């Protein structure tokens, strides 16, 4: 899980570094880099590219594309640690979607954690005048759609291979973002090619190692480690982009992370 967090941190840093490029072009290269892994895997293992739950696969891909685009847009406008922290409230939206769409119960203690996490989000924006409002909205929209992604994947269940789900997502992002980026295309120069293509590599390995962690240990033990990404991203932002975090911002992040970690531990312990 720590390796996964590092990989996602490098992805976040890469997006910030490539700030001069339009977000659609960044999404395009993010998808392209991952397709170098998903296509060979499916071909080698003779897994159908089409899948079984086609409508849900397409829906997951479109919703995921919106979430990723909004997140990358927020990174361009916000300190990276702040953007990541806000995106991590996605499980709250997922729980709310599950309540209304899947009729799942939310334990009373979870409401306390959710309220605390939202208070942390309000601390990031409500008390901080240096937080870009548009970037804040983009991050919230990303969290909302990421929560919906969780629900769609739950509906797909085990009826499609995980790599099929990822491949659908990457192909959809590659095509749609590629078309949308034509108008804003900037020709990469030198190291920028490497940085753009590495986005997909970091994203792919971040996902793979997170999956491995969840497969080899109890979720309540390893899932909280994923939030180390916030710490890694903050440190990277301070070192590479001279980002500035106030005490209020740090306290807001701590409140969000603590609330979500406690939610994971309590829910999994009671299952």
| Residue showing tokens 């994923």 | 226
Count H helices, E strands: the chain? 12, 0
Task: Supply the pLDDT for residue 155.
Answer: 86
| Residue showing tokens 């190692």 | 209
- Can you read off the two tokens belonging to residue 141? 């929209």
pLDDT (tens place) for every residue of the chain, 271 residues total: 889 889 999 999 999 999 999 999 999 999 999 999 999 999 999 999 998 999 999 999 999 999 999 999 999 998 888 888 888 888 888 888 888 887 778 888 888 988 898 888 888 765 555 668 899 899 999 999 998 998 888 888 888 888 899 899 999 999 999 999 999 999 999 999 999 999 999 999 988 887 777 666 665 566 667 778 888 888 888 888 888 888 888 888 899 888 888 887 777 665 5
d(CA 41, CA 49): 11
Dihedral of alpha carbons 256, 257, 258, 260, sign: positive
pTM, 2 dp: 0.88
Tell me whether residue 212 is exposed, middle or buried, using C-beta atoms within 10 angstroms of its C-beta: 0 to 12, 13 to 18, 19 or more: middle
Task: Supply the pLDDT for residue 127.
Answer: 53
Task: Supply the pLDDT for residue 227.
Answer: 79
CB 205 within 8 Å of CB 1: no
Task: Supply the pLDDT for residue 195.
Answer: 94
Residue-range domain boundaries for the chain? 2-270
């Amino acid at each position: 899980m720590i390796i996964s967090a590092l990989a996602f941190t490098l992805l976040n840093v890469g997006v910030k570094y490539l700030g001069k490029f339009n977000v659609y072009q960044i999404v395009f290269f993010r998808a392209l880099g991952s397709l170098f892994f998903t296509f060979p895997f499916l071909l080698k293992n003779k897994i159908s590219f089409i899948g079984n739950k086609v409508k849900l696969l397409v829906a997951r891909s479109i919703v995921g594309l919106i979430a990723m685009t909004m997140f990358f847009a927020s990174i361009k406008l916000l300190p990276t640690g702040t953007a990541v922290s806000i995106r991590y409230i996605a499980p709250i939206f997922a729980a709310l979607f599950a309540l209304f769409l899947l009729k799942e119960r939310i334990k009373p203690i979870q409401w306390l954690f959710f309220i605390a996490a939202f208070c942390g989000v309000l601390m990031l924006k409500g008390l901080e005048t240096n937080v870009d409002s548009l970037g804040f909205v983009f991050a919230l929209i990303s969290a909302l759609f990421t929560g919906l992604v969780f629900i769609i994947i739950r509906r797909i269940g085990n009826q499609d291979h995980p790599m099929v789900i990822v491949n659908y997502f990457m192909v959809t992002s590659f095509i749609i973002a590629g078309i949308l980026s034509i108008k804003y295309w900037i020709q990469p120069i030198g190291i920028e090619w490497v940085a753009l293509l590495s986005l997909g590599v970091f994203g792919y390995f971040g996902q793979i190692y997170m999956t491995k962690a969840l497969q080899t240990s109890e979720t309540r033990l390893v899932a909280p480690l994923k939030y180390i990404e916030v710490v890694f991203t903050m440190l990277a932002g301070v070192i590479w982009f001279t980002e500035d975090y106030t005490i209020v911002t740090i306290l807001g992040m701590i409140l969000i992370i603590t609330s979500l970690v406690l939610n994971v531990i309590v829910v999994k312990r009671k299952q």
